[in-house]
Amino acid sequence: MDIRKVQMTGGSSFIITLPKDWVNRMGVEKNDSLGIIQQNDGTLLITPEASKRFERTKVINVDDIIDGAYLFRLLVGAYVMGFHQIQLRSSKRTSPMVRERIRDFTQTAMGFEVMEEDSREIVLKDLLNPEQMPFERTLGRMITLVSSMHRDAIRSFLKKDVDLAENIGFRDKDLDRLHWLISRQYSMMMEDVTMVGRMGVGRLESHIFYLLSRILERIGDHAVRISNVVPRLVNEELEAKTLDHISHLNEESMSLLEDIENGWKENDIRCINNIIAKLNGLHDRIAEVEWSSMKLDTETAISLNQITSSMKRTTDYSTDMCETLINNMMRSNGEVK
Q: pLDDT tens-digit profile of 289-304?
A: 888 777 777 788 888 8
Q: Contact at 8 Å (CB) between 79 and 112?
A: yes
Report the pLDDT averaged over residues 271-281.
96
Read off the pTM: 0.83
DSSP codes, 7-41: EEETTTEEE-PPPHHHHHHHT--TT--EEEEE-TT
Three-class DSSP category at 44: strand
Question: Please, are residues 227 and 166 in contact by the beta-carbon 8 Å criterion?
Answer: yes
Helix (H, G, I), strand (E, B) or coil at 335: coil
Q: Looking at residues 127-137, what average pLDDT do you find?
A: 84
pLDDT at 269: 94
pLDDT of residue 156: 96
Could you report the per-residue pLDDT of 243-273, keeping only the tens digit for each?
999 999 999 999 999 999 999 999 999 999 9
Residue 91 CA to residue 249 CA, distance in Å, equals: 57
Q: What is the pLDDT of residues 155-210, one digit of tens each?
A: 999 999 999 999 999 999 999 999 999 999 998 888 777 777 677 787 888 899 99
Whether the CB-CB separation of 183 and 210 falls below 8 Å is answered with yes
**Which one is predicted more confidently, 335 or 28?**
28
Find out if CATH 3.40.50 is the number for domain 54-126: no
Relative to beta strand 7-9, strand 13-15 is: antiparallel
More confident residue, 217 or 117: 217
What percent of the chain shows pLDDT beyond 90?
59
- Evaluate the CA torsion angle 72, 77, 80, 84 in order and state its sign: negative
- What is each CA distance from 280 to 24, 74, 220, 312, in whole angstroms? 57, 39, 20, 10
Domain boundaries, the chain: 7-51, 54-126, 133-329
Confidence of residue 51 (pLDDT cuts 50, 70, 90): very low
Each residue's pLDDT tens digit, 54-113: 678 999 999 999 999 999 999 999 999 999 999 999 998 989 999 999 999 999 899 899
State the pLDDT at residue 52: 45
| Angle, helix 240-265 to helix 135-159, in steps of 10 degrees | 170
Architecture of domain 7-51: Ribbon (2.10)
Residue 234: band (very low, low, confident or very high) from pLDDT cuts 50, 70, 90: confident
Quickly state the pLDDT bin for 334 (edges 50, 70, 90). low
What is the per-residue pLDDT for 71? 96
Name the 3-class secondary structure at 202.
coil
pLDDT digits (tens, 9 = 90+) for 10-50: 767 888 888 888 888 878 888 888 877 776 667 777 777 64
Is the pLDDT confidence value at 123 over 80?
yes
Question: What is 133-329's CATH number, 3.40.50.300, 2.40.33.10, 1.10.3720.10, 1.20.58.220?
Answer: 1.20.58.220
Banded pLDDT at 229 (limits 50, 70, 90): very high
Average pLDDT across the chain, whole number: 89
Res. 223: pLDDT tops 90: yes
